[in-house]
């Protein structure tokens, strides 16, 4: 697909957003939701899967900036809208492209978005995959929005063969998100169980929490809860859903503002 066609779809905000809940263990509430682009709508009105397009976006600096800024503002606007309609302080979890975090305007973009939309910084979380590296400016930018603005940071895909300990050392993360392969094998492998326990201890030592992804069965859910994992995500907890469906989920499981 040509650069101009992708740019045109982004400028027209022809992105279809979907979301998935992240459950807090030990509480019958769910206030954190990952929101992402599932499809783009082209000029003919056809829906195109997002993944092939995002692969092109990530290789182009200009497209990365345009896409990231547009997604940030639209996702935050939708979060504020859902929070108001559901009477619940929904926390938005948003995947972050390294080139956006490294840009000289990143901090100001985040600050402006929060100020103009009214979303509290503690209700915005950026997820950065451990498979991706940041340059020193990117690390400084993330630490600034974390330490000075109060935005939450999560390291995703944690525990793969490329475990990025240097990035964990350089950036002030709040949360480690276990790669979903751990949930897939934890019931069958005592070694995986021990590794999850070890990662939980590591997170505690670093004043961080852990989120287990890929939870598809009640047995997995109960085992992660037993280990005292903080959050969980997967089809058992809630499938990928439209934002309208997400709003109904927030209404049902989100902590009400009046009780916050």
| Residue ranges covered by each domain of the chain | 3-259
**Whole-number average pLDDT of the chain:** 94
218-254 burial code (b ≥16 CB/10 A, e <16):
eebbebbeebebbbbbbebbbeebebeebbebbeebb
Tokens of 4: 């101009």
For residue 257, the model assigns a pLDDT of: 83
For residue 260, the model assigns a pLDDT of: 45
For residue 29, the model assigns a pLDDT of: 87
Tokens of 23: 């459950």
For residue 256, the model assigns a pLDDT of: 86
186: closest CA among 221, 157, 238, 158? 221
Whole-angstrom distance, CA of residue 48 vs CA of residue 111: 31
The model's pTM is 0.95
Whole-angstrom distance, CA of residue 219 vs CA of residue 203: 23
pLDDT in tens, 161-210: 777 888 999 999 999 999 999 999 999 999 999 999 999 999 999 999 99
What is the CATH code for 3-259?
3.20.20.450
For residue 21, the model assigns a pLDDT of: 97
- Residues in the chain predicted with pLDDT less than 50, given as ranges, are 259-260
């Amino acid at each position: 697909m040509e650069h101009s066609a992708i740019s045109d779809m982004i400028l027209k905000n022809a992105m279809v957003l979907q979301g998935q809940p992240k459950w807090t263990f030990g509480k019958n509430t769910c206030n954190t939701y990952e929101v992402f682009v599932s499809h783009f709508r082209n000029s003919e009105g056809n829906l195109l899967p997002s993944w092939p397009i995002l692969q092109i976006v990530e290789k182009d600096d200009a497209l990365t900036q345009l896409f990231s800024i547009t997604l940030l503002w639209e996702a935050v606007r939708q979060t504020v809208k859902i929070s108001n309609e559901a009477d619940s302080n929904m926390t938005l979890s948003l995947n972050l492209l390294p080139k956006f975090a490294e840009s000289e305007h990143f901090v100001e973009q985040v600050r402006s978005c929060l100020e103009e939309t009214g979303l509290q910084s503690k209700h915005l979380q950026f997820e950065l995959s451990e498979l991706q590296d940041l340059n020193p400016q990117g690390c400084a930018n993330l630490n600034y929005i974390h330490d000075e603005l109060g935005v939450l940071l999560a390291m995703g895909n944690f525990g793969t063969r490329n475990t990025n300990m240097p990035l964990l050392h350089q950036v002030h993360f709040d949360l480690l998100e276990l790669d979903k392969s751990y949930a897939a094998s934890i019931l069958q492998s005592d070694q995986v169980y021990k590794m999850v326990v070890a990662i939980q201890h590591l997170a505690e030592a670093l004043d961080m929490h852990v989120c287990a992804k890929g939870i598809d069965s009640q047995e997995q859910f109960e085992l992660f809860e037993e280990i005292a994992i903080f959050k969980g995500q997967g089809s058992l907890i809630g499938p990928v859903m439209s934002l309208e469906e997400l709003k109904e989920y927030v209404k049902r499981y989100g902590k009400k503002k009046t009780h916050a």
